[in-house]
């Protein structure tokens, strides 16, 4: 069952798309306003740089506007611009040459067995040790430390709430590849967070 008002939103977006195709700048501006926040957050997660994210945001919508006739409507408009944004953000990384990790274009062996490492028990819980804002900062830092290939999939699936199919379409990946990268991202995050909280706990015990 569709969420209240969702059909009206889809209809409004379709109307803006139809007008934007005819060169209506205001209609395209409406589309930008609807998605610019999400695209900026995605770009910032990938580039880890606010200025680069702002550039990616502008480049994404400029490219989308100039290639709007290529959007066939086989997927959601948001999925289409996410794909453009990811490509633009990864180009930024390549130009900076500061990130030597795996490219999103590079294949991955999805048949590889992944063994989860033992996760330590947190006692007391992180929620009891840290406030909500500090926990959010800790999680964000852990996400930023992921390789772009894993970070992008994690952001789209677990932060932006795209489906596996939408994420695969946006990144031009197979569904098994998306699932594999998401699993690796989650396992790496669990490991990083476990080490962080265990280290903090050790420090706390040292002064008791």
Q: pLDDT tens digits for 25-75?
A: 888 889 889 999 999 988 988 888 889 999 999 999 989 988 888 888 777
95-109, 130-144, 151-165: the lowest-pLDDT one: 95-109
pLDDT: is 104 or 85 the higher one?
A: 85
Q: What is the mean pLDDT of the chain?
A: 76
Given a cut of 50, is residue 122 above it in pLDDT?
Answer: no
Fold for 126-206, please state it: Arc Repressor Mutant, subunit A (1.10.10)
Question: How far is Cα 152 from Cα 47, in angstroms, rounded to an integer?
Answer: 10
Lowest-pLDDT range, 9-13, 27-31, 204-208? 204-208
Query: What contacts 121, CB < 8 A, 6 or more positions away?
Result: none
Angle at 94 between CA 90 and CA 96, to 5 degrees: 115
| pLDDT at position 107 over 50 | no
Q: Is the pLDDT of residue 178 over 90?
A: yes
Which residue intervals of the chain bear CATH 1.10.10.10? 126-206
Which tokens hold the place of 43?
């770009």
CATH of 6-96, one of 3.90.1150.10, 1.10.1740.10, 3.30.70.260, 1.10.3720.10: 1.10.1740.10
Higher pLDDT among residues 6 and 173, named by residue: 173
pTM of the model: 0.60
Q: What local confidence, expressed as pLDDT, does residue 112 receive?
A: 41
Q: How many CB atoms lie within 10 A of CB 150?
A: 24
Assign residue 46 a region (left: φ > 0; alpha: ψ between -120 and 50; beta: otherwise): alpha
Domain with CATH 1.10.1740.10 in the chain: 6-96
Instruction: Choose among 30, 56, 25: nearest CA to 43.
Output: 56
């Amino acid at each position: 069952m569709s969420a209240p008002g969702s059909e009206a939103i889809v209809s409004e977006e379709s109307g803006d798309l139809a007008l934007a195709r005819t060169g209506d700048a205001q209609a395209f501006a409406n589309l930008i306003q609807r998605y610019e926040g999400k695209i900026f957050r995605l770009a910032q997660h990938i580039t880890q740089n606010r200025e680069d994210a702002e550039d990616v945001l502008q480049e994404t919508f400029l490219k989308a506007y100039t290639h709007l006739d290529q959007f066939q409507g086989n997927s959601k408009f948001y999925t289409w611009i996410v794909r453009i944004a990811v490509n633009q953000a990864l180009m930024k990384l390549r130009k900076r040459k500061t990130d030597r990790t795996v490219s999103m274009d590079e294949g991955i062996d999805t048949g590889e067995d992944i063994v989860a490492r033992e996760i330590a028990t947190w006692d007391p819980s992180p929620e009891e040790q840290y406030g909500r804002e500090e926990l959010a900062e800790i999680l964000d830092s852990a996400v930023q430390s992921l390789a772009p290939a894993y970070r992008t999939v994690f952001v789209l699936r677990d932060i932006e709430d795209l489906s596996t199919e939408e994420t695969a379409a946006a990144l031009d990946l197979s569904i098994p590849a998306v699932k594999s990268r998401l699993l690796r991202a989650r396992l790496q995050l669990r490991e990083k967070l476990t080490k962080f909280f265990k280290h903090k706990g050790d420090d706390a015990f040292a002064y008791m």
